[in-house]
Amino acid sequence: MTYFLIPVMSILMTFTSCFAETSLILQLEHAPTRLLRAIDKSFSDKKAANKIENLATHKLAHKLFKRNIKRGYYPTLSGFPALYAGYSDYSDEHGMIQFPLRHKSHRVFVAVTSKMDVQTLNDKTISALSFPTSKETSENQEPIKTIKAEYFMLERKKLGNGTMFWNVQKVDLPANNQMKKISIVLLTSPKNIVIPTGDFFIDPSQHQHYVLPPIYVMGNINQAKAIINAASILPFFEPIDRTTIKTPNIVKQSIISNQ
C-alpha cells in the first residue's frame, strides 16, 4: 500500500537553517499505536486462536497480563550504532543519527544487521562492508543463507508540481552479500526495528537535507551484544563530533563539527 506521512520532527527543523553542508539524518521513533495494533492483530489472527483453547484459565490470565505490560513498554531510542561513508554515530536520547552527506545519488540504502563482515586493505582501511556469510552448510556442502538482516532502498523523488517524497522498498540481500557503498548500516537485530515501505512526503523545510522517513524501534533485544560485536570495527570509522552553539530564538543548537 502506498501512502504519505507527514512526520512531526520539530527537533530536526532547527538544523535546516544553519548547516553549510547537506546532512543525512535518521530519526528513530517509538512505534505509533496504529502499527502496534496491526502487529497485535496479526499475532492474534495467526497464533492466539489455536493456543487459547489449550490454555488453562490461570495461564491465559498470565499471558494477557504480560502482553499488557509489553504494550506499555517503550524501548529506549538511544545507543543504536550506525555507520556511513567512513563515519560512525550513535542515536541520541531523541533517537537522532546524523552524518554529513557523502554521495550525490538520490538513493540511499539502509542495512539492519547485528553483525557484519569487513574487507580491509593492509588491515588499516575498510574497502567494503558485507552482510555476514553463513557458516551453515547443506548436505552437498553449499552454504545456506540464514543471515538475520534486512536491506532497504530509499529513493528521493519529485512530482511534476515540485512535491518531493521518499520511496522506500525492501530489497533482497545482494547475492555476494556486499553492501552498496551508499549504505547506512544500523547495527541491531532486525527484530528491534520496523522500516515501513511506501511513499513518504518530504516537508519543504527538509529539502536542504536528506531527512529519512521515521524508523520505528520495537525493542532492544541483544543490543548490548551487537555493540560488543561492533567494537572491533568501530576504530575504522570517524566518530561524529558535534558542537553546541547559540542561535537567535533557539537556546541551544547542535551542529556537526567534522564536515
Summarised one tens digit per residue, pLDDT across range 32-86 is 877 667 666 665 665 555 555 555 555 656 665 555 555 556 789 999 999 999 9
**What confidence tier does 257 reach under pLDDT thresholds 50, 70, 90?**
confident
Residues in the chain: 259
In this prediction the pTM is: 0.75
Q: Report if residue 85 sits inside a domain.
A: yes
Q: Report if residue 173 sits inside a domain.
A: yes
Q: Report if residue 58 sits inside a domain.
A: no
Distances in Å between the alpha carbon of 153 and those of 65, 207, 243, 245?
A: 38, 19, 31, 34
Which residue from 3, 1, 7, 2 is spatially nearest to 214, judged by alpha carbons? 7
Q: Report if residue 3 sits inside a domain.
A: no
Q: Report if residue 72 sits inside a domain.
A: no
Q: Which domain holds residue 23?
A: 10-30+77-256
Domain count of the chain? 1
Lowest-confidence range among 46-50, 91-95, 96-100, 156-160? 46-50
**What confidence tier does 5 reach under pLDDT thresholds 50, 70, 90?**
very low
Phi (first) and psi of residue 189, to 5 degrees: -70, 140
**What confidence tier does 208 reach under pLDDT thresholds 50, 70, 90?**
confident
Q: What is the mean pLDDT of residues 98-103?
A: 94
20 vs 221 pLDDT, higher one? 221
Q: Report if residue 46 sits inside a domain.
A: no
Q: Report if residue 55 sits inside a domain.
A: no
Q: Report if residue 182 sits inside a domain.
A: yes
71 vs 170 pLDDT, higher one? 170
**What confidence tier does 11 reach under pLDDT thresholds 50, 70, 90?**
very low
